[in-house]
């Protein structure tokens, strides 16, 4: 079974959304039924990837960074979407961090990079804004020798 993980921005500008969606679909095409998708289900790229992966018949593995992870969702709609995707997961990995810290987020991203055959990065190419951000996980994965596919459109910056 091929394992594909994701890292990516929580905020995806509207002008790049269709490009990102097409890139995720292209990356998952041809793996129907033989794919494990790893995601932390954060708002943005993680949830978009999980949706596409499930639509392609992948088994979803969610990596939960901390005991209070759900408290980080901004509103009830975001939390509902997270819970809906988590309920569809085949496996759930819970890390031992009690609180959602940068270290917990880095550990979750590193877990995904450690356990995938390929990492998809919905990434504008800029440095991480805090430990555990997309840029950090891309650097970590590349350091492991993991293939990393960056999905973004040149010239578009995130908020």
pLDDT digits (tens, 9 = 90+) for 92-144: 999 999 999 999 999 999 999 999 999 999 999 998 888 889 999 999 999 99
Q: Is a pLDDT exceeding 70 seen at residue 156?
A: yes
The two structure tokens encoding residue 66: 């901390």
Higher-pLDDT residue of 6, 158: 6
pTM, to two decimals: 0.95
Strands ordered across the beta sheet of 2-8: 91-97, 59-66, 35-39, 2-8, 118-122, 148-150
- Spatial CB neighbours of 105, under 8 Å, sequence gap ≥ 6: 40, 65, 130, 131, 132, 133
Element (H, E) at 23: helix 14-28
Specify the DSSP class assigned to residue 63: E
Mapped onto helix, strand or coil, the DSSP state of residue 131 is coil
Residue pLDDT, tens place only, 26-56: 999 876 558 999 999 999 999 999 999 999 9
- Segment 2-19 mean pLDDT: 95
Given pLDDT bands bounded at 50, 70 and 90, which one contains residue 75? very high
Kindly state the tokens that stand for 75.
């509103």
**For 95, phi and psi rounded to 5 degrees?**
-80, 160
Assign 20 a pLDDT band (cuts: 50, 70, 90): very high
pLDDT of residue 32: 59
């Amino acid at each position: 079974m091929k394992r594909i993980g994701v890292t990516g921005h929580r905020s995806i500008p509207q002008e790049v959304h269709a490009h990102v969606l097409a890139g995720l679909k292209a990356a998952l095409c041809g793996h129907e039924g033989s794919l494990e998708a790893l995601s932390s289900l954060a708002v943005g790229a993680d949830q978009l990837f999980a949706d596409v992966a499930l639509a392609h018949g992948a088994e979803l593995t969610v990596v939960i960074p901390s005991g209070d992870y759900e408290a980080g969702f901004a509103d009830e709609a975001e939390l509902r979407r997270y819970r809906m995707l988590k309920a569809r997961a085949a496996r759930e990995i819970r890390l031992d961090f009690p609180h959602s810290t940068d270290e917990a987020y880095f550990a979750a991203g590193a877990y995904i990079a450690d356990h995938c055959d390929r990492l998809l990065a919905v990434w504008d190419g800029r440095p991480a804004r805090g430990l555990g951000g997309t840029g950090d996980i891309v650097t970590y994965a590349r350091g492991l020798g993991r293939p990393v596919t960056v999905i973004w459109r040149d010239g578009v910056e995130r908020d």
